[in-house]
Every structure is written in structure tokens, then in C-alpha cells.
Amino acid sequence: MQKNLFLGVEAIGQGAIDGGISGVYAYPGTPSTEITEFIQESEQAVEKGIRSKWSANEKTAYEAALGMSYAGKRCMVCMKHVGLNVAADAFINSAITGINGGMVLTVADDPSMHSSQNEQDSRFYGKFAMIPILEPSNQQEAYDMVREGFELSEKLEVPVMVRITTRLAHSRAGVIRSEVLAENDMVLPSDPSQFVLLPAIARRRYKGLLEKQELFEKTAKKSKYNTYTKGEDKSFGIIACGIAYNYLKENYPKDDCPYTILKLSQYPVPQKFLDKMAKHCEEVLVLEEGYPVVEEHIKAVFKKDIQVSGRLSGALPRDGELNADLVGKALGKETQLGADVPELVVNRPPALCQGCGHQDMYKSLNEALDKYTKGRVFSDIGCYTLGALPPYKSIYSCVDMGASVTMAKGAADAGLIPAVAVIGDSTFTHSGITGLLDAVNDEANIIVVISDNESVSMTGGQESSALGKIESICTGVGVDPNHIRVLTPLKKYHDLMVETFEEEIAYEGVSVIVFRRECIQAAAKRLRKEKKMKDNPTK
């Protein structure tokens, strides 16, 4: 059969389409963004009318997906690991409401923090919510697990989490597709109280979820994605979770591993496999990407009878992503190093693009704040976070989506005046609006800079939910229209930008200064597209 060369994220997008989804809901976040983009650009998805527009944030995405499931249709919701923090309220409760149409939550974790603020492990969240987790070991499994995940979700009557990590998300391999499943018809839940989490109902539903745990474990035991291979050498057993299985196999290219191997790709961890391991192995090594989730679990199970090693024991590093070399080392294999990196090689940190509007915004901000002590600018998450690096060194915080506005407010409450927040357009609608409302209600003395490049640029220029709405949102939230200022961040307006800052610093209350100029990457992309349309209008 024809192999498709798919990135892991593309395999997931195709798996969802072929699995019969009627909608995908997401907010962009590396390394999960391209799942939704793939569906948005898929002709097959367009023909089927699959809903795929970006959501304002992960919580709204999750809840909308749950609503689609309520109506009986299959749906997927995608996010990166920190996005699940935003959606956590809905996520945890959805395990208790259960689903109607099949629902798959795909979360992409980012160990080594290639483009994230932390490397939290979503398997903890899955365990916390007490739902089944699927963790593919390669791109083919990513496709198969998502496609089949909807049926599993419907069978077990809960959302199912598919957890991947950066490496699988952004690596390409051949994937063979299976038949396309039909979409569900719309059908309302048969139990009218299912989605009503009033305490009395919630208690009943929660008991139901607890009772189902055994079924989940039994299902994982029978899963074709979990395999137990008994080894000849009894000294060692290996549990390889998700992509870590690849790194294990890389160390035994001839399939000649003498040890017992449990390939674990569906959770909860089946106790029966552990019982078997306890009989066969003197020591168990856990290979897992992220936190020591399984290692902690089996340490408690095996107590002191069997030695457990992994990230906690120091056999593997506690942080960062795994690779074949680290796994080889944990297995006592010698690694071969190439030549050293010559000393003259220097780092090449990411930087704002030449000609980017954020640069002009930071130049004016720096000049306006020059007369004050440093440390007055709270930032947020997006391209403009690069303003923390030289040559600008303008900002002093980057914590989570929306934290710029609220942290500036808190610092102003403490007496830090002026206090400035810098937030992007998309981040503002994701999580800035409510913070701004707090600031207005509290008459906080802050300046909120919305650096509006009219797209979600850091993740590749997706459409921003804020497009054309910023001033009206700010007015609606209660900011005095006289203190909502709109500027174009261009070199020629530098003096005007500095003056505007000075005027708003002098004002006691909430000011919003919008710096609006299209992202230069998005502009270049748009111009190329327009030229193409002009050259060949039929396409």
C-alpha cells in the first residue's frame, strides 16, 4: 500500500479525519500546531465540512469539543502540554461527565523545552483525570491510535488522551492509511443528567469513573499497543514507554535484546504485566520521555523486592528528552562520540526578524523608560518574548499566557509605578482580557502594550482571534477610550511612540497602547499568495 510521508502531527491530523471526526478544536502551540493546520489544509476535510477554525484558547477549545461530543459527533481537541493547564478545569471534569460522541484529546509535550516554559508530563494529567492514555511509539501508531481512539472513547465512555512529545511530533516517516470511517449522526445523550455536574450527580458519576478503572486497565492489558516479550537474561527487565521504545530498539538493531521488554503505549499500566515482570526480572529499568511517571508507579508496586531504575535513580537524566545514546548508556553500552565541537563555534540564539514591528515598539519603550529604574516591564508569550534578549533587554518576565497584564497589575498594587505589560494580540484574546478587566475594576495604574502584528506569529502565522477586535474589546472591558492609543511601530514614528508612552505613564489609571503592524513573515506570505493569484487566477 502507498506510504504517506507524514510528520507525527500530520499523521495525527489524518488519523482524526479518517477516524470520522466532525470537528477539531485547538489554539496553536508548538509542537502541536500542525495537527490543526493539516486538517485546515486537507481537501478531504474541507469536502467533508470538518470544523477546524482556531479557538481563542485551549479552555474554549476543550469545552467546544465536549459540546460536539455531547451532540453525538466525534471530535478532537489538540494542544501543547502547557495548554492543558489552561483547559484543565474542563478536562478533569470531562472525565466525570463522560462523552457521547468519541472524543480524543491530543497533547504534545515538549521535554527539553525546545519552545516552552516547562517540560511537564501530560501523562500525569491523564492519570489525574483517570482516563486512558495512548502514547504512540512511532508515526504509524500515532495515526492508528488517533483513528481508533474515537471508538475506544465511545466504548469506554470517556475522553481518551493521546500523548506525544516534540520528537515524534516533528519527525517524518512513512505512514499507511486505513479505511475512512463515517461521521456519527447527531444524537443527544441518552442519560439527561450525564453532563450536569451538580454535586449529587457528580458524586454518582465520579463513583462510576472510579468503578471503570478496572475496565480501563483490562483494556490496556489487551491492547495491541502494549507488548510483553520475555527475555532469556533474567537480570533485567525494561519498560519502554511511547517513543522511548524507538531508542531501545536503536540499541538492538538486530532485535537481539536479551532482556524482558514491556512496550507500554496504553495506560493505565496493567498490573498483570508488572506481576509477570516481578517473576522474571531482578531489576527493572524504565525508559520514559518526560517525568518519572511509570518509575514512581512501579517503585511503589515493587517496594524493595525489585530494584527499579530510570530518571529518578539517575540511570537516566532527570530532565530533558531522551535519545538512543542516553538509553544506551543506561543499558551499559558504550557510546561512540564524534569529534569535538571546535571552540570558535558560537551560539546563534533566535532573534526578532529584521524589520519586525516589535523591534520599533521595544526601541521606543526602552527610551521612554530610560529615566526609571530597570525591571518595570512584564511580558508574555510570543515572538515579542525575544525582547528579553540583547540588543533590547526590555522585558523582565515571561511566565504563562496572560501573566503580563496581571503581574503588572500586582506589581503596581505593590507600588511599582510605572508598571508596563507587553502582550501580543493573540495572547491578549487568549488570556489577557480577564486580567485587563481586573485592572480596570481595581483602577490599577498600569500601561498595557498590545503589540499587534495581526497574527499568531511565533507558531507560524495562524489567524489571530483578536483580528479587528482589540479596541472594541478594551472599550467593552471598561478602559477609558481616551487612553486607548493606537500607533504604527515604524522608525519614522519613533518620537511619537516615545511621547505617547510618556503621556500614558503620566496618566494614573489603565492605559492601553496598541502597536499595530502586520507581521513581516505573514505579509511576505500574503504577498506571495496574492502574486500567485494574479499570475494564475484559475488556481
For binding to another protein (CB under 8 A), which residues are involved? 3, 5, 30-31, 33-34, 114-115, 167-168, 170-174, 243, 246-250, 253, 323-325, 328, 335-342, 344-353, 383, 386, 458-460
Q: What are phi and psi of 151, to 5 degrees?
A: -65, -40
Q: Please name which of 176, 167, 359 lies closest in space to residue 247, comparing C-alpha atoms.
A: 167
CB-nearer residue toward another protein: 100 or 426: 426
Rounded to a whole number of angstroms, the minimum distance from the CB of residue 520 to another protein is 11
Question: All 3 cell numbers of residue 532?
Answer: 500567485
Rounded to a whole number of angstroms, the minimum distance from the CB of residue 139 to another protein is 8
Rounded to a whole number of angstroms, the minimum distance from the CB of residue 37 to another protein is 11
Alpha-carbon gap, residue 254 to 245, rounded angstroms: 15
User: Is the distance from CB of 91 to CB of 129 less than 8 angstroms?
Assistant: yes
Q: At what angle do helices 122-129 and 293-302 cross, to 10 degrees?
A: 60
Q: Is 356 helix (H, G, I), strand (E, B) or coil?
A: coil
CB-nearer residue toward another protein: 100 or 379: 379
Alpha-carbon gap, residue 532 to 539, rounded angstroms: 9
User: Is the distance from CB of 321 to CB of 111 less than 8 angstroms?
Assistant: yes
Rounded to a whole number of angstroms, the minimum distance from the CB of residue 527 to another protein is 16
CB-nearer residue toward another protein: 69 or 166: 166
Rounded to a whole number of angstroms, the minimum distance from the CB of residue 247 to another protein is 5
CB-nearer residue toward another protein: 244 or 514: 244
Rounded to a whole number of angstroms, the minimum distance from the CB of residue 497 to another protein is 23
CB-nearer residue toward another protein: 132 or 328: 328
Q: Please name which of 395, 454, 457 lies closest in space to residue 422, comparing C-alpha atoms.
A: 395
Going by their DSSP bridges, the two strands 133-134 and 266-267 should be labelled as antiparallel
CB-nearer residue toward another protein: 111 or 270: 111
Rounded to a whole number of angstroms, the minimum distance from the CB of residue 21 to another protein is 23
CB-nearer residue toward another protein: 64 or 142: 142
Give the torsion sign (CA, 228, 231, 234, 240).
negative
Cβ atoms within 10 Å of 323's Cβ, excluding its own: 15
Q: Angle at CA 30, nearest 5°, toward 25 and 31?
A: 90
